[in-house]
Structures are given as C-alpha cells and as structure tokens.
Amino acid sequence: MLRITAVLLALVSLLPAAEIVISKPLSPPAWALLERQLLDANSAAGQKYLDKYIDERGYLLHTPRWGTLDGPDDAIETFYNWTLMYAMGADQNILNGYKKALEGHLQQYKEMRTTKTKLAENGAYYKEFITQSDFFHTGEGMRGFMFLGLADPNDPRLIIRMKRFAGLYMNEDPEAPNYDPVNKVIKSLWTGSKGPMMHKATTYDWVGDPVPGSFHLLHGPKGRGQLVDLLSVYDKMLAHCAEYLDSVGDHPLNLASTGLATNAYMLTGDPKYKNWVLEYVNAWKARTAMTGGNIPTNVGLDGKPGGEYGGRWYKGTYGWNFTIYDGEIDQIAHRNTVQAGSWPGFGNAYLLSKGDPSFVATLRKQMDNMYAQKKVVDGKTVIPQMYGDPRGYKQTGREEWYHFTPTLHTNRLAEIYLWSMDRKDMERVPAEGWFAYLEGKDPSYPEKALRADLERLRNGVRRLEADDTTPDTRLADYVQGMNPLQHDALAQLTTGAYLTARIWTFHARVRYFDPARQRPGLPRDVAALVEKFDANSTTISLVNTNPVEPRTLYLQSGGFAEHQIVSASINGQSLPVNDSAVRVKLAPGAGGQIVLQVKRYANEPTLRLPWQR
C-alpha cells in the first residue's frame, strides 16, 4: 500500500500545479453548440465511410494501382485528417478506423505487383515504407501518420515506425542510403526504403501498369469522374509525366521528410533526430542565400545549387522552371512545387530550434523576391510563379521571372506571420475570414465557419450515400474524394492552428486534453474558442455545454507544449503557472474567458501527454 501511494504521489507531482476554476453560469453561445455538433457529426460521418469503403481486413474497397496519379499515396491519404480529428476531440471510432485502415493499406499494397516498373514489382511497400517516390506524393500519403502522435503518442507501433522511417533519411538503414552527410543532401527526388533513385525515372515509374477495366477516372483527358476504359487513355496518362524524368540531386520537396525526424524527436526525446533536422535545413538555408534568397529546386550531389544543371538552380522536375507540355491535356503547364516541401521543412526547423528567426527569415526573403516583381494587370495584382528560361512558353533565351498570376500565396504569408508574430508580416495577410476575426473585424466568423463545415460534411455524406460505384470501378483517388470529415473550422477556432500544406506539422497556439478519459482532445460537452493572440498572449473562451455534469481539462500552450504559460487570468485575477499546461475545472453549464501570458518557443517540443511530463 505504501508503495502504491508513493507512486500515485509521484504521478500527481508531474501534473501541472496551477488550476483554474470556472464556475460562472453561461448560456452556451451558438459557436459552442455548433462545435460540439460538428465534432459529433464527424464521428458519425467517419463511421459511415468505414462501413461503406473498408472491409473487415482494413482493405480499401477499390482497385489498387501503383503510380502517383491514383496509387498508394492516394489510398491512405483518404484518411489524411482522421488522426487530427481524434486529437481535437472526435470519438474513438475515428482513431480506431484510421489504425485499421493503415494496417490494411500496408498489407493491401504490399500484395500489389507491377511489371512495367521495378519500383513495385514486389509490392509498393518495403519495411512498411514506400519503396521509392517523390516526397510530394510520399508526404501526401503520410499526412494522417504525421498526426498520429497527436492522437496516440504511446502507440508502440507508431514509435517503432517513426524511428525507422526517420532513419531512412539518416542512413540508419544500409539498404537505403538516401542522405549524404558530407554534402548534406538527400540524393534524389525519388527516395524511400529502397534508397535513392540515381538515374532518370521512367513514365512507368510515375504512372504504373495499365489495368484492364473501366474506372471513374479523376486523372485523364475525359470528364472528371466519368466511367472510362483505362487502357483507352493509358497513353495519355503516360504523356502527363513525359517530362518528369530528371531525378538525381536534392529538391526542396525533400525538406518535407524532416517531418519524420521531427515526430521521432517529439516521441522519444532523442537529440539525434533534432540534430539531423537542423543540420539538413541549415544546409538548405545556406544554399538559398547563395541564390539570392530563392530556394533552389535542384541541388547537385556536390551540395551546390544547380549542381546537376551546370549551376542553373531553378531547373529540375517540379522546379522553378518546370514549364512543360502536358500530353494528357495537350497544353503547356506550369508546375513549380517549391513551397510544398520548403515551408513544412523550415517550419519544423523553427519549432525544433525553439524559434530561431533565421528560418522564418529565409521564407520571408523568398516571398520578398516574388513580391518585388509584382505588377497590376487588368486591375489585378499579379506576381510571378516561375523563374528561368520559359521554354515552350515565351522562349526568350534568358533567365527571368514569368507566368504572372493573381495567386499571391497569402497562405504562405499567413504562416510566416503566425510563426514570427511580427506585425509587419501581418501587413501582407488579407484581413478576411479567420484573420479578420482575429483582428476584431468579423465577430460572426466562428458561427459562419462552423455552419459552412457542417454543410460541407452533410454534402459529403449525401455524396457518399448516393455513390453506387463498385470496387472494380474505383481507383484510390476516387475513394479519397469521398472522405466527409471536416477539420478546418475546428482547428482554427479551438486551437489557433492554420493548416494549408499537403504535409503538416501542427503549429497551434493551444491544445486540450481530457484527464477523465486519459486522451487528447476536448472533453465531452466542452467547447473552446481561440479569440485572439499576439507574441505574448493567447485569449481563449471555454464553455461546458452540459448543465448537469462538471468537466475538467488540461489546457496546453502550443501544439507540442513548446510555449510556456507564465500566468493565466480570469475575471481580472491572475494566477502564476510557469508550465506548458494548466488544469481547468468547469462547473456544470459554466463558461468564461482565460488570458494566457506566454513565452513562445521556450520549451523543447514534445508529444508526451501532460500527465506524463
């Protein structure tokens, strides 16, 4: 008995000492009731999806194919927001459904075979990781997995896999020497558990084998979703990727791979993962400085920008100069993906470095360079999306900015501001939607956003229920489009997170944990609203919509406890906290506003639950 008591006392001593009690009765505002409705609706809609599209083995009911158009990454990307939804408070069936689908997916695509490409001749996965692909697509398929630590950081399979997957980019697996620690490059656009591709890719690597049958194609030259004989359009699918073949050398898409080591660090605390991320991203930061602040889209095996193209740093597949003729749609296409990996990668380094401003400065300089070229055309502000010699576009024979469009990348500007909290960065972010609300200009936004997501969810469920396709006519991207779960409004309003990229790290102002159920997410009946924040404070309203039962939660500063709560104020009374989390007790039907004074990026980020720290 004495030993048990000592253990319990030790556990209690690990919990945040400060406690806030909210006892003032509050009639639940509309936003609070809508939040709870949306969380419940997501849980129910997810079950409908599982019942229709997942079998008892966890296999997705579709026709598996290799390739980047409708292949393994799309199949598991179907569940891209399920682990996040659970981490915010959705029911257990959502987490269970993701785990079942993940295990089924790994086995289903392990069984798949190809003859036109060696990449999947023995299955799409080896050691539970994609054999070789570009991280634009590998990352898409890992979105839900990257958030699994938010949902269940104690899952032993998650920890084992995250360490192994991170090790693939740290040369811990002799079969996968993806990284050169001397020149600090990931050696190819194509990497994975079979190592880097050190030669040109083929169109079959990108597209996979022809599969007999008619499918509801979302990729293809005919109408979206029409039932089309795949063999009749297969040559067009190959033509889509005819110019995607250059592979050797590093690419900013590879920066997204840092999400693996970032998660491994936050799950284990082992500094080798943090050190690798900072080493690799710092090398990219230095190369970007060499090219005048433009993130190069090819780094040679020698570690120099443009090393595979005679110093032309803007070249390469998916590069600044990737203006191609797409034979599938018979027209010129501009496909520069420089931001898709660089923003997540530099964001990870910013998190792990405890807010080193030089990482955000690199991204800011990139946007400065593009905005320096802005002009007004037909009354609209436009900026360039491409750089280099616009072959097949204007053929000027000189390097220049080109392809000016009204795409102003305000989402990337918003991320820069949310990391830096510098009001000068906010000047380039349009004060609309969520940002208008945070600036005090649209108090009705929370209710509007929640109602809009509820409507999107309802439409998704209607579409799911009306779907009369059969597994033999579905490819992975079709089934992916049937996922009805909606996360955007909940992420913004409850946690202050802004999720834009294909590959996410959960940069948030706050998170919540339920000690009664020993899990992450808002407790039952509790609603939360992040009302405003700046560099030093976060203001949140909490409501217990249950008029009968009290509720208790832990309020954490930062998605990964990276921010320290100095003090918390309610009703004008300030309570010292000096911890990354504070305990909050809500009386039945009670609600109130809490103002946290914070030191941002004061702590090492972690995925451990508050009562485990």
**Which pLDDT does position 148 carry in this prediction?**
98
Q: Residue 477, Cα to own-chain centre: how many angstroms? A: 18
Neighbour tally for 18: CB within 10 Å: 17
Neighbours of 464 (CB within 10 A): 18
* Segment 388-424, tens digit of pLDDT: 987 655 555 688 999 999 999 999 999 999 999 999 9
Q: Which residue has the tokens 């009290």?
A: 550
- Give how far the C-alpha of residue 36 lies from the chain's centroid of Cα atoms, to the nearest Å: 24
Q: How far apart are CA 480 and CA 482, in angstroms?
A: 5
* Residue 132 to residue 245: CA distance in whole angstroms: 14
CA atoms within 13 A on the CB side of 439: 12
Q: Which residues of the chain have pLDDT under 50?
A: 1-14
Q: Which CATH superfamily does the domain covering 13-28+509-612 fall into?
A: Golgi alpha-mannosidase II (2.60.40.1180)
What are the helix (H) ranges across 372-444?
A: 410-420, 423-426, 434-438
DSSP track, 331-371: EEEE---HHHHHHHHHHHHHHHTTS-HHHHHHHHHHHHHHH
Give the integer Cα–Cα distance in Å for 510 and 496: 7
Q: How far is CA 118 from the centre of its chain?
A: 29
E strands, 114-193, where? 125-126, 129-130, 133-134, 179-180, 185-186, 190-191
Evaluate whether 111 touches 63 at the Cβ level (below 8 Å).
no
Q: How far is CA 59 from the centre of its chain?
A: 24
Give the pLDDT score at 6: 40
Q: 303-310 contacts: CB < 8 A, separation 24 or more?
A: 303/180, 303/182, 303/183, 303/184, 303/185, 307/249, 308/246, 308/248, 308/249
> What's the order of all strands across the beta sheet hosting 526-533?
526-533, 537-544, 591-599, 564-570, 573-579
Give which of 544, 530, 581, 480 is closest to 137, Cα–Cα.
480
CB 140 within 8 Å of CB 253: no
At 191 the three-state DSSP class reads strand
CA atoms within 13 A on the CB side of 327: 13
- pLDDT for residue 518: 97
pLDDT of residue 211: 93
User: Which residue has tokens 């889209």?
Assistant: 297
Mutual orientation of helices 30-53 and 445-466 as an angle, nearest 10°?
A: 20
Output the pTM of the full model: 0.95
Q: What's the Cα-to-Cα distance from 583 to each of 12, 19, 43, 441, 610, rounded to whole Å?
A: 12, 5, 26, 31, 10
Parse the chain into domains and list their residue ranges.
13-28+509-612
pLDDT at 222: 63
